[in-house]
Amino acid sequence: MKNNVKVQRAIFNLTQAELAEKIGVSRQTINAIEAGKYVPSTVLALKIAKLFEKSVNDIFELEATD
């Protein structure tokens, strides 16, 4: 799953730690999401999208599978 969490975080001038605190996860979780190593739960994706005032689809994009 592709995402633009890092871009949105930069627009809002937030560190990984600050974003993590605002949505109730660890900084390591944010790092893993940004690196594409962790797919967030629906609830977590909704929290991130709400914080950035975007839709989930604006933040996360499913990659095509064969």
- Specify the pTM: 0.90
Tell me the pLDDT band of 60, cut-offs 50, 70 and 90: very high
Give the pLDDT score at 29. Answer: 98
Q: Give the mean pLDDT of the chain.
A: 95
Q: What is the mean pLDDT of residues 4-33?
A: 98
Q: To the nearest whole percent, how much of the chain has pLDDT over 70?
A: 98
Q: Are 52 and 20 in contact (CB under 8 A)?
A: no
pLDDT at residue 66, as a whole number = 64
Burial of 2: CB neighbours in 10 Å, binned 0-12, 13-18, 19+: exposed
Enumerate domains of the chain plus CATH numbers. Answer: 2-61 (1.10.260.40)
Q: Residue 23 has which token pair?
A: 């949505």
